[in-house]
Amino acid sequence: MAMKSVSICGALFFALLALTARADLDEDIDEGAAAVEANVIAWHRDIHENPELSNHEIRTAALVASYLKTLDIEVTTGVAHTGVVGILHGDRPRGGKAGKVVALRADMDALPVAEETGLPYASTVTSQYQGQDVGVMHACGHDNHVAILMGAAKVLAGVRAQLPGTVKFIFQPAEEGAPPGEEGGAGMMVREGVLKNPDVDAIFGLHVMQLDGTGQVSMRPLGAMASSQRFEIVVKGRQTHGATPWSGIDPIVVASQIVGGLQTIVSRRVDISSSPAVVTVGTFHSGTRNNIIPDDAKLAGTIRTFDPAVSEAVRDEMRQIATGIAQSQGAEATLSFSEGNPATINDPALLEQMRPTLVRIYGDANVRVSRPLMLAEDFAFYQQQVPGLFFFVGVRPPAVAADAAIPNHSPRFFADENALKDAVRAMASLAADYLRQQDRE
């Protein structure tokens, strides 16, 4: 009986020691996030004021790489063109073993959008995009993501002595899609081995959105965001004078009918009660002069679904509609589809495992289940290789009503900087807690 009492006391002692160590690390992370908050805000404003398009994130990548090196983090640059990868090895041994590897990811690219926020650090940058002069803006919030992950790197570097494993920081280019004719983004980073050497066991990522208010986060098990595919339709007619349309074949009229016909796919041909789908035509280009019926017209757009079978059915319907309408007018339609992004699938077990971490930071009532979003994220390519969790950080200021939330990709999108400190806490804590949980196995 005495032996048993000693054993129980020993177990209680080590359990208490573990709880104390956990509380100490949580406190150190919280203090570190508070200490780096001013830097995170400054980085956010600097990156916001100096946005760069996909595969051209040269200044942003240099800023990130330079800072990570000051933290004594191993740095690799030029991954998938401009990507930066940092590796932080924890100093606490795991029973003589190397420990697990957790990855944290931020995307770096901006969009061809002219900013209309009126912020004092608003972008005035212009560039060329697909042959057009465009404004450039962080209209999707990736400037926040980079600043948050730089802050998390600072916090975790400060507690490396307490980490029983390795943290890999992935700063990714081209989440919005590589320019035509180029490779890029998460898929290219995976192909270039970003999840190897050392092999990643789990990965976490976030996205700022005004769908949630500051102080709230949301996530969803399994299908959180839709897959996306780009499509192009070229309608070949026959050029003629605008005064004699009967002597040619008008591709603009044919393409217009195709745009209308495509709308029947979701409204009449897909069972959206079982699987949501979206077909959107985003561009329509044709002609050079008001009195010339052109030779061709070009449409481009996006398909969003959660089910690969539904994606294939949508593509089949598009082919039938486009070619059928074109043939009925004496024209010809050809279609092409990109590989696109798979659906963003959160690992249910990982989500439940890490939910308490987010609850500690935001409170139980503020960690919510998000609805399925038809937006897409190439974070999905990482999730195809390792368990991953992608969550949304609310950045809608308290003064902005929910029904007035500004969507991502709007020229007026902005983020409440008061949300940044807790986002740093969240990313750093997810990495630390994951490693500690694996350490106990």
Burial (Cβ within 10 Å: 0-12, 13-18, ≥19) of residue 14: exposed
Nearest-angstrom CA–CA distance, 283 and 391: 30
Largest CA distance in the chain: 106
Compute and round to an integer the Cα radius of gyration of the chain.
25
Annotated active-site residue 115? The verdict is no
Q: Are 80 and 86 in contact (CB under 8 A)?
A: no
Residue 332 is a catalytic residue: no
Distance, in Å, from the CA atom of 317 to the CA atom of 22, rounded to the nearest integer, reads 55
Q: Which of 37, 57, 109, 115 is catalytic?
A: 109
Element (H, E) at 121: none
CA 324/CA 174 separation, integer angstroms: 36
Residues 207 and 108 sit within 8 Å (Cβ to Cβ) = no
Catalytic residue among 175, 212, 317, 439: 175
Please report, in angstroms and rounded to a whole number, the separation of the first and last CA atoms in the chain: 29
Helix and strand numbers, DSSP H then E, in the chain: 9, 18
Q: Give the strand order in the sheet containing 83-89.
A: 74-79, 83-89, 165-172, 100-107, 202-213, 388-396, 217-219, 367-369
What phi, psi does 50 have (nearest 5°)? -130, 60
Report which secondary-structure segment, H or E, holds 144.
helix 142-158
Instruction: Please give the torsion angle defined by the CA atoms of residues 353, 359, 364 and 365, in that order, rounded to the nearest 10 degrees.
Output: -120
Q: Got the DSSP string for 347-379?
A: -HHHHHHHHHHHHHHH-GGGEEEPPPBS---TT
Residues marked active site are found at 109, 175
